[in-house]
Amino acid sequence: MGKFRMSLTILRILEVLYANPDREHYGLEIARTANVSNGALYPALERLTRAGYLTSALEDIDEAAEGRRKRRYYQLTEDGRALAATELRDAPRLPGHLALN
């Protein structure tokens, strides 16, 4: 993978996903936990997905039966896990970040 431009939004997203890397996370959950706006979240998720650091999939539900729209779930790839581990280790501790080791 090439050099990926890191931002505070990307770091916060990686932090949330890396805290539970085996679990799929949906957008609103990521936004709330990472404390980022939807306007910043979805472009960042798209960049991470296009770069190969995330996978994404739309859930298979009957929207009418569930009473809600389908959610898109995101999960770190192996490259994404490596990126998160490196970037989160090297990132300065900033206010509002989750407490990850």
Q: What is the pLDDT of residues 3-20, one digit of tens each?
A: 678 899 999 999 999 999
Would you place residue 95 in the very low, low, confident or very high pLDDT band (cuts 50, 70, 90)?
low
Residue 53 has pLDDT above 90, yes or no: yes
Read off the amino acid at residue 17. Answer: L
**How is the beta sheet containing 54-58 ordered, strand by strand?**
25-26, 72-76, 54-58
Three-state DSSP class for residue 52: coil
- Quick one: average pLDDT of 38-59? 96
Would you place residue 101 in the very low, low, confident or very high pLDDT band (cuts 50, 70, 90)?
very low
Would you place residue 36 in the very low, low, confident or very high pLDDT band (cuts 50, 70, 90)?
very high
The fraction of the chain above a pLDDT of 70, given in percent, is 87
